[in-house]
Amino acid sequence: MNYKKHLPGKWKIVATSFSMWKSDKNKNPTITYSLHKDVPLIFNDLVEYKKNHKLKSITGYDKLRNESFIWRGKGWLKPFTSKWKVLYLDSDLLIIKFSATLITPSGMDILVRNTKDFSYYKERINGHPKLFNLNTVETQNLHWFY
């Protein structure tokens, strides 16, 4: 996968199995990736969401290692790591699956660049999960925001 070409930029989470995003307390989650280092490949990772009408953020780094990324938090989150893998990536759609940490469960997110394309992707993913490296059980466990 061409991570340097397709991953950078802001992505909107439109479906998830992650309890933090399924909660009514946390709204409009996004992830922004920017290139931090070329070799080894490392991205800056900025997660933003609204909680009680206030913008919250989580920052970290994502280092590519054997076709998976290792996320490490910044600041007080530096002791925490999580392994995540890209299941599908093109210029408009990103599907990631991540492992549990000491404080969060494992989960999966479906992200798009532009939510106007949401219905198209939802229909395709639910109708043909194998095209996106998913199975029916995984798609049934997703909570769609739109």
Distances (CA, A) of 146 to 15, 58, 95: 8, 23, 16
Boundaries of domain holding 126: 3-144
Mean pLDDT of 46-52: 96
pTM: 0.94
The per-residue pLDDT for 70 is 97
Region 12-37 average pLDDT: 94
Reduced to 3 states (helix: H, G, I; strand: E, B; else coil), residue 4 is helix
Q: Which CATH number belongs to the domain containing residue 66 in this structure?
A: 2.40.128.20
Give residue-wise pLDDT tens across range 67-98: 999 999 999 999 989 999 999 999 999 999 99
> What's the total number of domains in the chain?
1
Q: What is the average pLDDT score of the chain? A: 94
